[in-house]
Structure 1
Amino acid sequence: MTARTALSYRPANPELAVFVSGITSMGIEVLALRIVAPQFGSHIYTVGGIMTVCLAALSLGYWQGGKRATDATNREMTWLLLGTAVYMAVVIYASDILLSQTAALALPARYAALPSSIILFGPPTYLLGFISPYAAELSRKEGTGEASGHVYALGTIGSILGSAATTFVLIPALTVDTIGLVFGITLVATAVAIEAPSLPQKPTFASVGIAVLLVVATGAGPVAFDHRGDVVYHTQTAYQELEVVDDGDVRTMYLDGARHSAMDLEEPKRHVFEYTKYFHLPMLLTDDVEDVDNVLFIGGGGYTGPKDFEQRYDVDVDVVEIDPQVTDTAEEYFGLEHGENMTSHTIDGKQYLQNTDETYDVIVLDAYKKDQVPFHLTTVEFMELASDRLADDGVFHANVIAAPSGAAGEFYRAQWKTMDEAFGGTYAFRTSNTNEIQNIEIAATNAETDFSESDLAERNDERDLGIGLTDEVDNYMGEPDTSDAPVLRDDRGEVDSLLDPMLGQRYVIEETEDNSSAGSDSGDPAAPAVALGTAPLVIAAAPKKRTPVER
């Protein structure tokens, strides 16, 4: 085919239908994770479940379509496309309600996302599966092999385009509902194009009605009360769903439905989450506070820790945050100001350490989620890299989410053992007196050290840090039993299996008292704890239709 012929080529109706079905089916599969993740998390079971459902539904559609292909017509393909568009309106309008309802089903946590995935994405993918065998039957190509190969090629090209466009263009730029609208209108437009230029009455009226239905579903969703507070900002970034929610005087950043940072609007220097005070423990483990000049945070969120270090100590603070919109949100809603002593880097944490020649006195790793941990930031290879970037008396600090003991503590024990392999001394501190899943702070010194709890308590009394760490030191834990724990390595993907026992279990985040100023000795064990159960039950996604700010 010459360039001129290619430019003037007009695809036949079956070719157009199969190309668009490829775009839409793969686009729906990519979009599905963004719809389901805020309710059920974005761990491997959610991702694998969505892929399984979509592939199973598509295969069933291929099979059924193949059995009926001998009677295939362009009109039947029109109704299949319009039927899929109708279901896209259902997904746009009812996904929040359906997710919350299916979350209450008594299923093991690893399978919790399957019912909603089946109901939301099974039917439209099934309908689109009919298109390929129909298109092969209606193809102008001579011979079954040539027709099938042509259809497979067009469908695959469409799938590549749908996957790339959804991932790199639509999700960073549009809301989930708007992307659903784009897919729905594309299906309707394709149905009209197949019928053109005659435009029979029934398909034409149906197309107009479905287009209106899609627009209405996008603009007027079910009214629901958001128990978290007022959603002041909501967007889909290239990495996650990001929300800012105000509940009274407390502003919270949610990433994929989970709380990650909080700020007291009336008292911005207060540590709302107790675990952020533990970030100062390295100042007790280092030989001399005055020698701490350079600090690195891997993971920014609302920049609670980086802001505190910049304001409290005479240090330069570098922050590595892979999601640029998280940093933008911290600037706009959490009072982040970049100056001479604060620099943000938009890059993966491991890549930054590999590329930098900077030496740090303190490195704080705060990039883990309860159900999704970037495994390459957990391994002994990463820890050795971090050790190489630390000063000889430097301190590495990791915010780990796990239980102190039991099956839900498997990841904590493996992480402790891995860090102990790379550093000279390793210490752990619980943030809650319960045995629930919580933030466990693991600090490690580059030099060979052997601090006891009393040693750290003495240093806390002697050093004027401007923040009391008495209760934090009291939560010092002894060395865990790591005899059955693995050392995490780059070539062994064990993290997901270690996180598995935590699925569906309660996650406790301790909060400080409202009157606990940043300079006071707070952290009272009686301080309130927020118990977060399985994300579907407690941390619900904000109703998108109530979001007052979108961009």
Structure 2
Amino acid sequence: MKKKNALKSKKEKAPQNKKARRIFLYLVVFGAGVSVLAIELAASRLLAPYFGSSIFVWGNIIGTILIALSLGYWIGGKLADQHPNVEYLMYLLIAAGILTSLIPLLFQLYTKLAAVNFSFLTFLIAGSFLAMILLFFFPVFLLGMVSPFAIRIMISDLKSSGKTAGSLYAFSTLGSIVGTFLSAFILIPFWGTKETIYLSALILLFFSAWGLKKKPVFFLLILIPIVLYFVTKGDNIKSVAGLIYEKESPYQFIQIIKKDKRYELRVNDGWGLQSIYDPNSILVNSYYDDYSVLPYFEHPNRAKDVLLIGVGGGTISRQYLAFFQDRISLNIDAVEIDPGVIKAAQQYFDLAQQPISIHISDGRAFLEKANQRYDILIVDAYSQQIYIPFHLTTREFFNVTKSHLKEKGILAINVNAASRDSELLNRILQTLKSVYAHVYLSPLGEGYNWLVLASESNLDLGGMKQSVDNPILQPVANEVISGFEEIKADSRYPVLTDNKAPVELLTEKEIFDYLFKKS
């Protein structure tokens, strides 16, 4: 009688255990999906301070993740046929969780070694790819095995195998969707990149410990990401000499560096200098200074409406206010896409004291909605450190700028190029020429900054030079005039359009040319 009751109890528990296992496996594939996309997005932010966030770095990130997942699906399916049990799957999750926990710590070591052994360009492209392979490939590879294992464990009837596989992949994809939005809109912006990685590891280790709950010792593994979080909590994301401020914004990694009495704003990998503030000098001995002579091209004593796209720390607006505010009515609209940059500049630069109108927006989106026309429109917007956003280099964008300039208004752009023969520089010039009647070019500084001007009116160089009545600005005017040329139409260089504007590819070519020229 007792034996019959035991068998009956066992039969009643079997369906319950089977149902609990199914629910648990759905949660596991969901958690793995969350973690994969959280790790991928965190990878982009972890790499950005050192390697930037260009399309090439993103290509390395996405490509590595897809390779890892593909191999994980393939090899995971084979292993699942050999070991179709939950315990084996949990051991794979443990390995993925531990490897994920170690990513921030190992990345610090990697960047120190890579910076010493790689050249500039190799560091940016090959270095980011190697970082993905060494640090992110293996945990994602293991996570790719989760769905094949879950499918193999859950399939007991071939008639419902398609339904089982489809529902598990749906849950995995749902987890990836949640991981994407959760990481992009909440975890990374408000908590941090390293913290997001540690949370992903915590999720994986919790599920693995729960799956092995008959062996409670595995719950101790949850302590690994927690301990590493506190070990690395006080570390700077990227330590550099003179660092006084660093912050991850939704758009980029921001640093303020103090050199003597001069403050510099840098973003992501720091190769490009975004703004300079010197409390003891208005001029900063950089291309920013050259924008200061633009008001002298046309009636320097008349009121001026100025638009700055990419205000950064307010270097240019500070110079305009210092040189012209006391002599003319000056209205400055300043557009900046990243509120984190504005916050840093208001704290460490003098942006908070500048009487200008700051608009948090993409420059082109701002212009599309604006009704005002300007005397001077300056585009000094760089995304990902050294890349002009492609949508700010196209014929369509320049048509928008033209519609927002007054009759004799001037558009000014700074372009980084290795030489006058640069394809990037010439394609921007020809794109401007397809829109504006007059386009001008002037080499600045060390030879890789080029001031590009465009207007419907002919610019009078001689008149501008004679109008400069501030002795401080006379050397600047001489620099702008030196090598000044008007651009003619040249069919060898295709016009950049919204449909086709390979600006990042052309910029990478500039880096190659610059390094070759330097060597």
| Cα distance between partner residues in 2 of 1:144 and 1:217 | 46
> CA 1:450/1:325 → structure 2, altered by over 3 Å: closer, same or farther?
closer
Indicate which of 476, 483, 487 corresponds to 2:483: 476
Residue number in structure 1 paired with 2:454: 444
* Structure 1 residue 505 displacement after superposition: 5.7
Q: Secondary structure at the match of 2:142?
A: helix
Q: Which runs of 5+ in 2 are unaligned?
A: 1-19
Indicate which of 483, 491, 494 corresponds to 1:486: 494
> CA 1:274/1:220 → structure 2, altered by over 3 Å: closer, same or farther?
closer
Residue number in structure 1 paired with 2:15: none
8 Å contact kept, 1:261–1:304 = yes
| Cα distance between partner residues in 1 of 2:369 and 2:156 | 54
Q: Secondary structure at the match of 2:398?
A: helix
* Structure 1 residue 164 displacement after superposition: 1.0
Residue number in structure 1 paired with 2:423: 410
Q: Secondary structure at the match of 1:113?
A: helix
Q: Kindly indicate whether residue 200 of structure 2 is the aligned counterpart of residue 192 of structure 1.
A: no
Describe how 1:380-419 pairs up with structure 2 within 5 A: 380-406=395-421, 409-419=422-432
8 Å contact kept, 1:45–1:111 = no
Q: Which runs of 5+ in 1 are unaligned?
A: 1-8, 508-530, 535-551
Q: Kindly indicate whether residue 362 of structure 2 is the aligned counterpart of residue 352 of structure 1.
A: no
* Structure 1 residue 455 displacement after superposition: 4.9
* Structure 1 residue 122 displacement after superposition: 0.6
8 Å contact kept, 1:371–1:503 = no
8 Å contact kept, 1:282–1:396 = no
Describe how 1:49-64 pairs up with structure 2 within 5 A: 49-64=60-75
1:504-537: per-residue Cα shift (whole Å, max 9, x none)?
Answer: 5658xxxxxxxxxxxxxxxxxxxxxxx9x99xxx
Which segment drifts farther, 166-175 or 70-79?
70-79
8 Å contact kept, 1:82–1:207 = no
Q: TM-score, normalised by structure 1?
A: 0.81
> CA 1:377/1:224 → structure 2, altered by over 3 Å: closer, same or farther?
closer
Higher relative contact order (CA 8 A, sep 6+): 1
> CA 1:219/1:206 → structure 2, altered by over 3 Å: closer, same or farther?
same
Indicate which of 248, 262, 265 corresponds to 2:260: 248
* Structure 1 residue 246 displacement after superposition: 1.6
Indicate which of 352, 372, 381 corresponds to 1:337: 352
Residue number in structure 2 paired with 1:432: 445
8 Å contact kept, 1:89–1:213 = no
Q: Kindly indicate whether residue 292 of structure 2 is the aligned counterpart of residue 280 of structure 1.
A: yes
Which segment drifts farther, 36-45 or 480-489?
480-489
8 Å contact kept, 2:444–2:450 = yes
The structure with the larger Rg is 2
Q: Secondary structure at the match of 1:289?
A: coil
Residue number in structure 2 paired with 1:122: 137
Provide the identity percentage.
25
Describe how 1:140-539 pairs up with structure 2 within 5 A: 142=157, 143-196=160-213, 198=214, 200-208=215-223, 210-219=224-233, 226=239, 228-258=240-270, 259-265=273-279, 267=280, 269-285=281-297, 287-313=298-324, 314-337=329-352, 341-369=355-383, 371-406=386-421, 409-434=422-447, 438-447=448-457, 449=458, 451-452=460-461, 454-460=462-468, 463-464=469-470, 467-468=473-474, 469-479=476-486, 482-504=490-512, 506=514
Q: TM-score, normalised by structure 2?
A: 0.86
| Cα distance between partner residues in 2 of 1:475 and 1:173 | 48
> CA 1:207/1:433 → structure 2, altered by over 3 Å: closer, same or farther?
closer
| Cα distance between partner residues in 2 of 1:342 and 1:450 | 27
Structure with a larger share of its residues in helix: 2
Indicate which of 106, 125, 147 corresponds to 1:94: 106
1:100-125: per-residue Cα shift (whole Å, max 9, x none)?
Answer: 43353467564442111111211111
Q: Secondary structure at the match of 1:476?
A: coil
Residue number in structure 1 paired with 2:16: none
> CA 1:319/1:167 → structure 2, altered by over 3 Å: closer, same or farther?
same
